[in-house]
Amino acid sequence: MSTILSLSTSYSSRSSLFSPFSACNRLNPLLFYTRRRAIPLSPRRFNRLTTRLLAVAASENGVFTSPEIAKSFDFAAEERIYNWWESQGYFKPNFDRGSDPFVISMPPPNVTGSLHMGHAMFVTLEDIMIRYNRMKGRPTLWLPGSDHAGIATQLVVERMLASEGIRRVEMGRDEFTRRVWQWKEKYGGTIANQIKRLGASCDWSREHFTLDEQLSQAVVEAFVRLHEKGLIYQGSYMVNWSPTLQTAVSDLEVEYSEESGYLYHIRYRVAGGSRSDYLTVATTRPETLFGDVALAVHPQDDRYSKYIGQMAIVPQTFGRHVPIISDKHVDREFGTGVLKISPGHDHNDYLLARKLGLPILNVMNKDGTLNDVAGLYSGLDRFEAREKLWAELEETGLAVKKEPHTLRVPRSQRGGEVIEPLVSKQWFVSMEPLAEKALQAVEKGELTIIPERFEKIYNHWLSNIKDWCISRQLWWGHRIPVWYIVGKDNEEDYIVARNVDEALEKAHEKYGKNVEIYQDPDVLDTWFSSALWPFSTLGWPDLSAEDFKRFYPTTMLETGHDILFFWVARMVMMGIEFTGTVPFSYVYLHGLIRDSQGRKMSKTLGNVIDPLDTIKEFGTDALRFTLALGTAGQDLNLSSERLTSNKAFTNKLWNAGKFILQNLPNENDISAWEKILSYKFDSEGSVLNLPLPECWVVSKLHLLIDSVSASYDKFFFGEVGRETYDFFWADFADWYIEASKDRLYHSGTGGNSVASVAQAVLLYTFENILKVLHPFMPFVTEELWQALPNRKHALIVSPWPETQLPRSTSSIKKFENLQALVRAIRNARAEYSVEPAKRISASVVASNEVIEYIAEEKEVLALLSRLDLQNLHFTNSSPGNADQSVHLVAGEGLEAYLPLADMVDISAEVQRLSKRLSKMQKEYDGLMAKLNSPQIVDWLGYPSLSTRDLRNLEKGSQQKENKLSPK
């Protein structure tokens, strides 16, 4: 039988649970066959054959598997469990237990994306928050979706079409857009399905796509409102230009790489001067000299001060003159100290030219070729022009030298090509008025950024913010809602409207009935729609939308710290602008995931770790647990050793569940179950009346629940993981489970009270461990939870453990003394190589108070220390054979004496020591022979040692230092 049935209903009485007419019997008569004989407890242990059938675990459709019939947790069960959760509606917000929702808007991954460790990190952390708050009774909404990723998606589809011999421009915009939608329908769900493999408990019924009709309406509405307030304008400014895609790209989509290149030294002659009057310019991009509008030197640079105010001749331009000016920002130490100003092709030069009132000269076409301003070089690719220009400068004697230089090259994140700074007419958002309110949100405490140190970075960026270029020269995306009048100047005569009908109506009102209009061909930056994500996905601009009223503002925005500026800050600004409210209360920033050596993962280094491959090998739970142990905002080094360790943790949980299930009473033993369920652990008296080991583990559990609940609330997830790991492994598994075996295996038959209390404590502690761990490790914990008897709810929706439950600090201290005694005895056994199965005698020496509680648990002490219970004595003073015993000090006022005769076979020990002495003698003789060898004698520089000298050495005497010192 591969699966066992699960209970999902409540029962009015314990007897009904095990009656022949119970839900379990009706679902599977093999489990609770009424004529089945009840087998009594063995004197050594519960009969595992009968208890194996107890696990009321798997639902009738075979979702769950009991640990009693599986050696380890099967990772293949994860998808089944996930699908079951979703089919039961557990991912949807439930207002039955509370009204204060906990809401996260998932950072929308690109529709072109494939799962990587960055996704795994944010899914893990956000799912932890969602699952914890769901168990706390809060209505939880984790709203998923994906981003249309304008540049990336268009690039993917263009490459696909190119493989078919089709160019985008040949098929036209409408047909190309149709093909992109086809591609999206076919491949766009890949990333969502991969996110599900990580256990993301999102409400997929609310999944959004940034090009959905409702979200597209929100984008248009935002543009129109910003334009009406004068915050959107059109102008020609410097942008990052992608020559291959022929579009502006955002700063985020530009990656800088250190690459080997050259620094070209070029001679500019001074107009009207002698042949010796020239300035040498050092540049990494000589092809841009056709766009030079000035040369600049530092005003205090004595080398060039005499040329300030004169004119220089730009090489290869047939005598074009530019002024030689001074500016204090020129770096005298870089290159030659002379700066060529090409404002059409360098961000810094552009700002300098605008400050000084210099003209802007563009020498490049949008495809990366040089234009007519370059004269004879017109039509050449920028890099081809560079080589040709340098060769001709060498011929004319204007080339001074070309030296190797490390360049900081801007490359497109999508295509990898070199980005060109270019002045282009674009649409911009004026950011300063928006940034001021976003700064105040943090200052007033309306927004909390975790970790706090990122507040300074956030404030710095917003305080020095630049206007945002929001237009992209693409076909895939949100078309800019601007229409132009045929035959009119675009920059002056345009109409902003919510749709073409409204635009045409406005055009008729302003220009007459006979005008024709056409829409701006550009689309909006993908980040523009992403900035509206927290509220557009909830129904904005419809303020009456049910989801908007219930779930906005959201609670948490979790993402990587690398997009704090480009996404998080923009969401804050747009949220305040359009809703009057900060869109979320908290921002939690995680770090990057690096390899085990701390290197950034890249295909070039070959160190990329695929999450799906990791899941196959280690399981989703082990991966999630590993990622969650990091610290907010700090990068995490991921290694197979960590994953292996946490996979072992999963197995340890599984084996603990197997042990507990195998040691619960037979399902037909109603009286035994009534006894177990009669134990309560929510009052001080019920806890204090427990035997010492049980009181200790329950007290430690209650302390753990308080501690991890506080850490969950503070988003200290690493602390939660480490504390729970330590408690489960070091306290529950290593100590209490081992101690419980005395009760379970040596307590006789029938409903023994000592056995029943151990069973109750095992069950209580384990089910609470599963609850605490569930947000981290949802799959294995749900599987184990379903295997436990009388599960009224799935673990995913079970109530979180209560806090401030009673605990006994004195019992914790007492059991720690018992642990110290056990450790001391175990260490002594190991030191004296006592066989593990051998039981030895012991005398425990302590005060009457200590002896009282230690002696009360002598069976546990004997079990854990492998002591002979018949020869375990407790006394206030040293035993008579103390001089022939190993003396152990376990703690202040707690000692033990272990008779050597029990630990050591005297004859065998003499024989062992004799062999050891013989071996040491041989080693000594060998060393002495080497020391007296001719080679050593020659090297040391003194005569061969005499017999007398050897005797002195044997007695431990030393030669004088000057006699033994080498030459």
pTM to 2 decimal places: 0.84
pLDDT, position 951: 55
Q: Distance between CA atoms of 758 and 765, rounded to whole angstroms?
A: 10
- How many Å is the Cα radius of gyration of the chain? 39
Cα 305 to Cα 302: distance, rounded to the nearest angstrom: 5
Q: Along the chain (967 residues), what's the average pLDDT of each consecutive run of 10 residues?
A: 32 32 31 31 38 39 78 94 96 90 96 90 97 97 96 91 91 95 92 96 97 97 98 93 89 87 96 93 96 96 95 95 93 90 94 91 95 96 97 96 95 88 94 96 97 95 94 96 89 91 94 92 96 98 97 97 91 98 97 88 81 95 95 89 96 96 88 92 95 97 98 96 97 97 72 86 98 98 93 94 97 97 96 92 95 95 96 94 92 93 81 90 89 72 55 49 37
Write the DSSP symbol of residue 171.
H
SS3 track for 562-629: HHHHHHHHHHHHHHHHHHCCCCEEEEEEECCEECCCCCECCCCCCCCCCHHHHHHHHCHHHHHHHHHC
The pLDDT of residue 633: 83
CA angle 457, 459, 464 (to 5 degrees): 95
Rounded Cα distance between 400 and 265, Å, is 5
Tokens of 849: 């108070």
> Using CA of residue 819, residue 822, residue 824, residue 826, what is the dihedral sign?
negative
Whether residue 740 contacts residue 857, with contact meaning beta carbons closer than 8 Å, is answered with: no
CA angle at 370 for the pair 365 and 376, rounded to the nearest 5°: 145
Query: Is residue 814 a contact partner of residue 853, using CB atoms and an 8 Å limit?
Result: yes
Q: CB neighbours (10 Å) of residue 537?
A: 28
* Cβ neighbours for 33, distance < 8 A, ≥ 6 positions apart: none
Would you call 264 helix, strand, or coil by DSSP?
Answer: strand
pLDDT of residue 340: 95
Burial (CB count <10 Å: 0-12, 13-18, 19+), residue 904: middle
Share in percent of the chain as helix, strand, coil (round to 5): 45, 15, 35
Please tell me the predicted confidence (pLDDT) of residue 481. Answer: 98
Length of the chain: 967
**CB–CB of 537/105 below 8 Å?**
yes
- Which amino acid is present at 535? F
Among the listed residues 356, 405, 377, the one whose alpha carbon sits nearest the alpha carbon of residue 291: 377
> Quick one: which H or E segment has residue 448?
strand 448-450
DSSP state of 376: G
What burial letters (b/e) apply to 342-359, b meaning 16+ CB within 10 Å? bbbbbeebbebbeeeebe
E strand residue ranges, 568-704: 584-590, 593-594, 636-637
Other Cβ atoms within 10 Å of 914 Cβ, number: 10
CA angle 503, 508, 511 (to 5 degrees): 110
SS3 101: coil
Query: What is the Cβ-side half-sphere exposure of residue 304, based on CA atoms within 13 angstroms?
Result: 29
Q: 896 in helix, strand or coil?
A: strand
User: Residue 882: CA atoms inside 13 Å, Cβ hemisphere, count?
Assistant: 11
Which two structure tokens, joined as six digits, stand for 318? 């047939």
Going edge to edge, which strands form the sheet with 247-249?
247-249, 232-242, 420-429, 468-469
Q: Can you say whether residue 172 is alpha, beta or left, with left for phi > 0 and alpha for psi between -120 and 50 degrees?
A: left
The Cα 210–Cα 212 span in angstroms is: 6
Q: Look up residue 843 and give its amino acid.
A: S
Neighbours of 500 (CB within 10 A): 13
CB 143 within 8 A of CB 521: no
DSSP H helical ranges for 9-135:
14-17, 23-27, 48-51, 77-87, 117-135
DSSP string, 127-156: HHHHHHHHHTT--EEEE-EEB--HHHHHHH
Contact of 765 with 697, CB cutoff 8 Å: yes
